[in-house]
Amino acid sequence: MVALATLPVLSWMVDGPAILPVAAGAMSLLTLAKRIEANRRPLPPPDPDRRRVIVRRMLFDRDTRPPPIGSTEHPTRG
């Protein structure tokens, strides 16, 4: 997501068509909206868990915490 977020700025710095930064910004916003929307899965009730879910959706494109490296357990919510 970091690379996608920097794309509008980098495309503005390159001498190219004026529509390029606008298109890159629109692409970034659409991707962010899709990640937060998460295939119409509901958000938890308003509490600290809701904020964690939104941040995980934006950064990692998932609701769950990834398991530790080398672990065979399934991801858990929360």
Give the pLDDT band (50/70/90) at residue 70: confident
Could you please report the per-residue DSSP string of 30-48? HHHHHHHHGGGPPPPPSSH
- Predicted model pTM: 0.61
What pLDDT, on a 0 to 100 scale, did the predictor assign at position 73? 62
Q: Is residue 33 part of a domain?
A: yes
How many domains, the chain? Answer: 1
Q: Is residue 73 part of a domain?
A: no
Percent of residues, the chain, with pLDDT higher than 70: 79
CB contact burial 63-77 (16+ within 10 A = b; e otherwise): beeeeeeeeeeeeee
Q: Is residue 9 part of a domain?
A: yes
Give me the mean pLDDT over the 3-28 stretch. Answer: 87
> Rg of the chain over CA atoms, in angstroms?
16
Is residue 50 scored above 70 in pLDDT? yes
Percent of residues, the chain, with pLDDT higher than 90: 5
Which structural domain range is residue 56 located in?
Answer: 2-60
> Residue 53, exposed/middle/buried by CB under 10 A (0-12, 13-18, 19+)?
buried
